[in-house]
Amino acid sequence: MIPGSVNEAAPDRALDERKPVLEIRDLSIVYRAGNADVKAVDHVDLSLAPGETVGLAGESGSGKSTLALGATRLLRPPAVITGGSVIYRGGRVAPEGVEILDQNSKQLRKLRWREISIVFQSAMNALNPVLRIRDQLGDVLDAHLDLGREEKRERLVMLLDLVGIPRERLRSYPHELSGGMRQRVMIAMALAVDPEVVIMDEPTTALDVVVQREILAQVVELQQRLHFAVLFITHDLSLLLEIADRIAIMYAGRLLEVGTSDQIHNRPAHPYTRGLLESFPSVHGARIELAGIPGSPPDLRSLPPGCPFVPRCRHAGDRCRDIDMRPLPVAGSGGSHLSACPFVTADTPGMEGRRGRATPAVAVSPQERQS
Amino acid sequence: MSAALTPAEVLPAAATRGPLVLEAHALAKDFRLSRGPRGEVLSAARSVSFGLYRSAVVALVGESGSGKSTVARMLAGQERPTAGKILLDGAEIRPWARGTFRAYKGDVQMVFQDPFASLNSVHTVRYALRRPVRLHQRTKNREAIAAELVRLLERVRLTPAEQFLPKYPHELSGGQRQRVAIARALAARPRVLLADEPVSMLDVSIRLEVLDLIDELRSQFELAVLYVTHDIASARYFADDTLVMYAGEIVERGPSEDLTQRPAHPYTQLLLAAAPDPDRLGAPIEIEVAGDTRRAGSALSTTVGCRFAPRCPFADTRCRAESPPLLQINSQRAAACWRLDVAAPALVSETGEERSAPMKT
């Protein structure tokens, strides 16, 4: 809870510890393009426990942002939800759960910001350039809380304190703030009325690494204090490995693998995940041989039958063309680790995790590299 | 030919690859922020010196606003330096001047960050490549040009080439577009390739392939490559030497592996600590940053002292009063910091004897 929050009747969160606060089931979203539908999200299951940080990693066009927009009903035509369900179980409004896909626009307005909020990538575009920070944050408070003038002012100040911005900045316009500060304002706005779920869609991608780390540290700290759950969407798997409890890997509209950060990092079970892990160089530790992933992300308009990763997969064979892409539990994980590849496991040769592949002694430095 | 570079400015790992080709000597660029005689002046680059060597990759690393792209643009002849010189094969050249620009472009080509913006969306790949081939290879022979286009696309591994030539940029993926941009740069048969964040707009899984491609072309055509990036981890893997820029100045330089594993300058240390690293799984997200990290270093020309001092945990009165030059740490490394004995004690003590010996150029 935000200190001094107006919402004193918060439920005991321990009670719904086990039930997910947000549960996406079998969600499918298409973009209507002429006479053909492009499947942007295809039968995706993903849940978010209270206070949990789930990372959603995928390349551009993988459907990760579409999934988030679909789950919050922010999609615009030609995107259409064609099936599935999104259950929100907020302690305040719906401990037993409400179906977000059934809500009308008036009901949705009550859920937005108050229960589920979103931080977008580009804070410059998300903030209104002609309104002062005070007025934009104030709008969120006015829409959901009935506060007196003094109370409102106190809360605005407190929100800026929360994200480490000097209170004088309430009078500033967005263009007067640095990129990092604007993103902090967005985070303050997302937390303004104490939501239970915060969706962050590439919140730090446009920022420098030092600022990025400061903001992430702040999000982690706020989350520990306020206990909201985070769905963190990014293309940067290395970032997720550091901050997420669980990670879902998305490719061509499908979830290919879901697991804890540790499972994804040390025992990746899907060839695509392994490829991603070997795609980014790291500054710390021994140099590892980087392999990357051959080919390019698929065109959603013409996906191959079966597994969409087949054209880029070194383990692929004919058997991959008619498999069920539903992620299934990895043996020995107790159901916490799911993979959509029924053939490859973490123990298949060539599937060692990043740690297992570190080769300190034989790594080739650029100076030794032969021209 | 490296007469213009002081010992602290020589890039040891890159220099062993081949001779000096292009040289930045004390390049500076000022931007006037407001009009009038008392208008503030931003020095986006200040006394930047380094060399690019044949067959070698030099990385220029910095955050947004550090001046790294300004330096690349000056070397590309797109921005006229306020002060300093550019030397090609040891002779001073003024690439921005009308008479030299085209010839200079035949030697020095640039690849930009955004392949969506750098290719004209109303023209095909064929059009984008044919113009530089005609201009720089001075031929009007249709068959010769057609053969050259195919060769160029094959070099950047866009095959079958005939299939890509009639395509428009929107029909290509980001990685393919960047390959076309690289092919266009190669059309001039340059000796120097300036790559300004060539992979930062691309998907993670294809970045490596594009970097590998540039590396392969470097070795095949003996290109001198400047790799401008915000990603110090990729500099470690890709570049022979790394230059770290902060607020318009080079604050540290040295062989990439050694620099990233044993950073000397407090800013390089901060940058490395902040880089996401999955191999530190479970470690706290918080990094130790003393000083006020929210106060960005000022690049205003009126700034006194070290530009990193407001954020630096080691800053003392001298740092705030006097701007440090690049100081030699050992025969390979140099950093612009007065407090290296505190900031990187191991590095300094280990090389203490070496440092006291007179340096030879």
Of residues B7 and B213, more confidence is placed in B213
∠A203-A208-A211 over CA atoms, to 5°? Answer: 75
Query: Is pLDDT at B264 greater than 60 in this prediction?
Result: yes
Residue A370 confidence (pLDDT) above 80: no
% of residues, chain B, pLDDT over 70? 89
Token pair, residue A37, equals 């539908």
Is the model's pLDDT at B280 over the cut of 80? no
B70 is in which domain, residue-wise? 13-261
Can you tell me the distance from the alpha carbon of B311 to that of B314, in angstroms, rounded to the nearest whole number?
A: 9
Q: Is the pLDDT of residue B174 over 90?
A: no
Q: Which domain holds residue A305?
A: 250-357
| DSSP letters for A278-344 | TTS--SSSS-------SS-PPPGGGPPSS-TTGGG-TT--GGGGG-----EEPTTTTTS-EES-SS-
Task: Please give the Cα distance from A171 to A159 (Å, whole number).
Answer: 14
Rg of chain A over Cα atoms, rounded to whole angstroms, equals 22
Instruction: Tell me the mean pLDDT in the region B101-119.
Output: 89
**For A245-279, what is each residue's pLDDT tens digit?**
999 999 999 999 999 999 999 899 999 999 998 88
Contact A20, A45 (CB under 8 A): no
A297 contacts in chain B (CB < 8 Å): 173, 203, 205-206
Distance from CA of A224 to the nearest CA of B (A): 13
Q: Which residues in chain A are closer than 8 Å to B212, comparing Cβ atoms?
A: 292
Name chain B contacts of A364, Cβ cutoff 8 Å: none
Last residue of a domain, one of A204, A222, A244: A244
Q: Are residue A189 and residue A265 in the same domain, yes or no?
A: no
At residue B89, does pLDDT exceed 90?
yes
**CA-based nearest distance A299→chain B, Å:** 9
| Closest CA in chain B for residue A298 | B173
B191 within a domain of the structure (yes/no): yes
pLDDT 10s digits, A177-226: 887 888 889 989 998 888 999 999 988 877 788 888 888 888 888 898 88
**CA–CA dist A46, A71 (Å, integer):** 10
Q: Which residues of B touch A371 (CB under 8 A)?
A: 17, 55, 219
Residue numbers in A near B206 (CB within 8 A): 292-293, 296-297
Across the interface, whether the CB atoms of B208 and A365 are under 8 A apart is answered no
In a domain, A137, yes or no: yes
Pick from B63, B219, B285: CB nearest A220: B285
Q: Judge if A257 and A232 occupy the same domain.
A: no
Dig out the tokens for B193 from the structure.
């390739």
Whether B360 shows a pLDDT value over 70: the answer reads no
What per-residue confidence (pLDDT) applies to A238? Answer: 87
**Alpha helix segments (H runs only) across A102-254:** 105-111, 123-126, 133-144, 149-162, 179-191, 209-226, 237-243
Domain assignment of residue B296, yes or no: no
> Hey, are the CB atoms on A242 and B278 less than 8 Å from each other?
yes
Q: Closest residue of A to B173, CA-based?
A: A296
Q: Is residue A12 part of a domain?
A: no
Mark yes or no for CB contact B277/A265 under 8 Å: no
In a domain, B64, yes or no: yes
Of the candidates A214, A279, A371, the beta carbon closest to that of B204 is on: A279
Do residues A236 and B204 make contact, with C-beta atoms less than 8 angstroms apart?
A: yes
Q: What is the dihedral of CA B265, B271, B277, B282, to 10 degrees?
A: 80
How far, in Å, CA of A312 to CA of A314, rounded? 7
Query: What is the domain count for chain A?
Result: 2
Q: Taking CB atoms and an 8 Å cutoff, what residues of chain B touch A360? A: none
Q: What is the CA angle A358-A362-A365, rounded to 5?
A: 95
Which residues in chain A are closer than 8 Å to B230, comparing Cβ atoms? Answer: 208-209
- Same structural domain for residues A183 and A89? yes
Contact B13 A209 (CB under 8 A): no
**Among A210, A244, A278, residue at a domain's last position:** A244
More confident residue, B223 or A166: B223
What are the tens digits of pLDDT across the range A305-347?
889 999 999 898 889 988 888 999 998 888 899 999 999 888 8
Mean per-residue pLDDT over chain A, rounded: 84
Q: Do A283 and B232 touch (CB under 8 A)?
A: yes
Regarding predicted confidence, which is higher, A75 or B4? A75
Nearest-by-CA chain B residue for A263: B281
CA B264 – CA B334 distance, rounded (Å): 8
ipTM of the predicted assembly exceeds 0.95: no
Residues A235 and A190 in one domain: yes
Mean pLDDT of chain B: 86
Q: Is residue A2 domain-resident?
A: no
Query: Would residue A9 count as lying in a domain?
Result: no
Q: Mapping DSSP to helix (H, G, I), strand (E, B) and coil, where does residue B171 land?
A: helix
Residue of chain A whose alpha carbon sits nearest to that of B54: A371
> Which positions in chain A touch B232 (Cβ < 8 Å)?
283
Domains held by chain B: number: 1
Shortest Cα–Cα distance, A158 to chain B (Å): 19
Whether residue B85 has pLDDT greater than 90 = yes
The more confident residue out of A98 and A288 is A98
Question: What does the alpha-carbon distance between residue B196 and residue B189 come to, in Å, rounded to a whole number?
Answer: 18
DSSP structure string for B201-229:
TS-HHHHHHHHHHHHHHHHHHT-EEEEEE
Instruction: Provide the pLDDT for residue A101.
Output: 92
My answer on whether A238 and A285 are in the same domain is no
For residue A14, is it within any domain? no
Beta-carbon separation of B55 and A371 below 8 A: yes
Q: What pLDDT is attached to residue A355? A: 52
Q: Which of A210, A261, A284 shows the shortest C-beta gap to B277?
A: A284
- Residues of A within 8 A of B282 (CB-CB) are 262
| Contacting residues of B for A358, CB less than 8 Å apart | 279
Nearest to A242 among B55, B237, B276 (CB): B276
Pair A43, A183 in one domain: yes
Domain end residue (candidates: A211, A244, A277):
A244
Check pLDDT > 50 for residue B292.
Answer: no
CB-based contact B285 A217, cutoff 8 Å: yes
B240, B278, B282 member nearest A367 (Cβ): B240
Question: Would you say B72 and B27 are in contact if contact means Cβ atoms under 8 Å apart?
Answer: no
> Tell me: the pLDDT tens digits for A125-156?
788 889 999 999 999 999 888 888 899 999 99
Q: Do A367 and B276 touch (CB under 8 A)?
A: no
Q: Does A298 touch chain B (CB under 8 A)?
A: no
Q: Give every strand in the sheet of A229-234, ordered side by side.
A: A116-119, A197-201, A229-234, A53-57, A246-251, A254-260, A338-339, A328-329
Residue A212 near chain B (CB below 8 Å): yes
Per-residue pLDDT band for B8 (boundaries 50, 70, 90) equals confident
A42-57 confidence digits (pLDDT tens): 999 999 999 999 999 9
SS3 B241: strand
A238 & A256 share domain? no
Query: Is A261 part of a structural domain of the chain?
Result: yes
Q: What is the dihedral of CA B99, B101, B106, B110, to 10 degrees?
A: 180
Q: Are residues A223 and A343 in the same domain?
A: no
- In percent, the amount of chain A with pLDDT more than 90 equals 39
A234 and A185 co-located in one domain: yes
Tokens at residue A332, please? 């020995």
Given A220, A354, A366, which is nearest B13 (Cβ)? A366
Tell me what percent of chain B is helix, strand and coil, each rounded to the nearest 5: 40, 20, 40
The pLDDT of residue B4 is above 70? no
Q: Which residues of A touch B238 (CB under 8 A)?
A: 281, 366
Mean pLDDT of B38-44: 81
Tokens representing B4 are: 């213009």
Tokens for A322, please give them. Answer: 């008619």
Type and span of the H or E element at A274: helix A271-277
CATH of the domain at B37: 3.40.50.300
**What is the interface size between A and B, counted as CB pairs within 8 Å?**
145
The answer to whether B99 touches B182, Cβ cutoff 8 Å, is no
pLDDT at B337: 95
Candidates A177, A182, A207, A210: best to mutate against B (most CBs of B within 10 A) is A210
Strand-pair category, B91-93 with A338-339: unpaired
A5 inside domain? no
Contact yes or no for B275 and A209 at CB 8 A: yes
The model's pLDDT over B184-219, given as tens digits with 9 standing for 90+, comes to 999 999 999 999 999 988 888 888 889 999 999 999
Q: Give yes or no for residue B297 having a pLDDT over 70.
A: no
Interface test with A, best of B61, B204, B269, B294 (most A CBs within 10 A): B204
**B232-237 mean pLDDT:** 93
pLDDT greater than 60 at residue B170: yes
